A and B are shown apart, each in its own frame.
Chain A
């Protein structure tokens, strides 16, 4: 065991999010104690109120930027972090709360809050990468525990983390799941969605809902006829692209295209 001073410092930060991705770190039960020997957990309020002042070697950032105060805070965190890694769909793409990006936020504010003038919020839910430079992204809603551990162990070993840019289809094939679209079992975003989850939803007979967001060059236009053939109507196609990665540009464009067709 290294002395605390020799261990790299790890900080975990939360913005607009549900805490589920931070829980993935606590969920590393078998590895957590060993990990705590290797890194100094300097800031992680989900786990401990004790905090250590920065700068930090690695900051894991959960959540999206939705207020001016959050925007200032992420800038300070970036200045205090050697590596900044976003964890989850909120931090990487804006999350489910980015549905606000497609509507009038001032109208929501006036309907929801008794004193809307108390509320200071941005018009859009922003991914972290739109405000500050990001060194790596862990995709997913929530993130995969295995990918998180790989990232942390890669950092400790000084190697590159394994974050493949390939579609979920490859992971279905590796585990022997037959294609849901081709067998007509369910609409599936697997062909345009980045792998990393291990294709858990298709293996449970459930179409991929795209929580890892788009691959590097998704052909959503070619997928839409297959989604329709699998039972989605135009509104269904729009909705399947408008979930946890609604604001990821490729998915936003696909949903917008369907809106255009509806008009």
Chain B
């Protein structure tokens, strides 16, 4: 393995290769994901204090670029864009022409993808399928993972089946060492080819052991966990639990949990027409199962109560996602816990459901 000193040359090289580099940067009192022009825009020296319903930046004692936990956005902001045009239609005399936008040929370089977010990207890829814009975008992207050495107080990736070490799905994986040194693991030929174009040094004795120690320490620092039980079975049994009303009394149904969730994928479609009536557009945009009009059908909404919408979200994420996609919809990144304005914690709600649910009760068919 090799070591990079600083990331300036790596970012410059990616840009020179035509990639649009997206990485963490400080904006509006948070570490957001945005296009960066150079490595200077990384959030050096910033850490994060996250708790249920609370997120604060703090200055660290060092200049670490990745000494922070998950922020308000996930990579779906770029891989599953918040809004996109599906087609436009133009009237021409008695007929009309429908035009689909060209597939974007933009190549993204995702810098600083955490292992939980690599897992989330794999989950979304399975949702959208191999023949999807999503799969095309991620296949065209250059992915630089960063092993997690700084979990937040809201994180629970280990109990969600993941962990702080990236094992697959990247071109290069970094572990941040002291003094802006980055231990690099190569995950693909593309990664290897790019690395060969920048200056690196062989790893020094002890670098690998230090990196492993940091990752192991992170793994042991998870302060939250999902209940160790059959969650799909629990959620089937808990369909009529009084606990849903308890959550609903606290829940704003604002949908923030679904919007920050790196795997939530729901969208709605809006048609627009212009004043002339000769031009129409169809747009797809993020939607949330917490929106009242999300379940609107002929005659009204299906899920009118907050309890029914919270149950829908939690049951899909941890239960029926297994039946639909063969895995859980949660990767344990903790965003829904931190970015819920009233601090509702899915691990606590599932634990409460498990405590009140009768295990011996037959599962409704």
Contacts and interface: CB of A to CB of B under 8 A. Distances in A.
A153 B271 contact: no
B254 A216 contact: no
B275 A174 contact: no
A110 interface: no
B32 A170 contact: no
Contact of A153 (B251, B255, B270, B275): B275
A205 B254 CA distance: 19
B60 interface: no
Contacts of B83: 174
A234 interface: no
B28 interface: yes
Contact of A169 (B53, B71, B256, B294): B256
Contacts of B285: 174
A159 B338 CA distance: 40
Interface centre among A164, A216, A222 (most CB of B within 10 A): A222
Given A173-B256, A174-B286, A183 B291 contact: no
Given A34-B275, A169-B255, A174-B285, A183 B30 contact: yes
Contacts of B306: 217, 219
A193 B83 CA distance: 21
Nearest to A162: B270
Interface stretch (A3-11, A53-61, A117-125, A184-192): A184-192
A223 interface: yes
A178 B338 CA distance: 12
Contacts of A153: 272-275, 277
Given A154-B273, A166-B288, A217-B306, A181 B341 contact: yes
Interface string A217-250: 1010111011001000000000000000000000
Contacts of A166: 255, 287-288, 291-294
A172 to B, nearest CB: 8
Given A174-B286, A222-B249, A183 B29 contact: yes
A164 B341 CA distance: 22
Contact of A152 (B82, B253, B275, B292): B275
Given A34-B275, A176-B77, A205-B28, A192 B291 contact: no
A216 B296 CA distance: 13
A215 interface: yes
A179 B293 contact: no
A183 B288 contact: no
Contacts of A156: 273, 275, 277
Interface in A240-263: none
Interface residues of A, number: 45
A67 interface: no
Contacts of B259: 169-170, 173
Contact of B30 (A149, A150, A178, A222): A178
B55 interface: yes
A177 interface: yes
A169 to B, nearest CB: 4
A228 to B, nearest CB: 12
Contacts of A135: none
Nearest to B305: A217
B346 to A, nearest CB: 16
B89 to A, nearest CB: 12
A54 B27 CA distance: 54
A157 to B, nearest CB: 4
Nearest to A223: B252
Contacts of B288: 166, 170
A26 to B, nearest CB: 15
Interface in A132-155: 149-150, 152-154
Contact of B341 (A35, A162, A226): A226
Contacts of A130: none
Interface centre among B30, B271, B292 (most CB of A within 10 A): B292
A170 B285 CA distance: 10
Nearest to B28: A178
Given A38-B275, A166-B291, A217 B304 contact: yes
Contacts of A170: 255, 259, 286-288, 291
B275 A182 contact: no
Contacts of A183: 28-30, 55-56
Interface centre among B56, B271, B273 (most CB of A within 10 A): B273
17 contacts: A153-B273, A157-B273, A159-B273, A164-B291, A165-B292, A166-B288, A167-B254, A167-B291, A175-B82, A178-B55, A178-B73, A179-B341, A182-B53, A183-B56, A185-B29, A219-B306, A223-B252
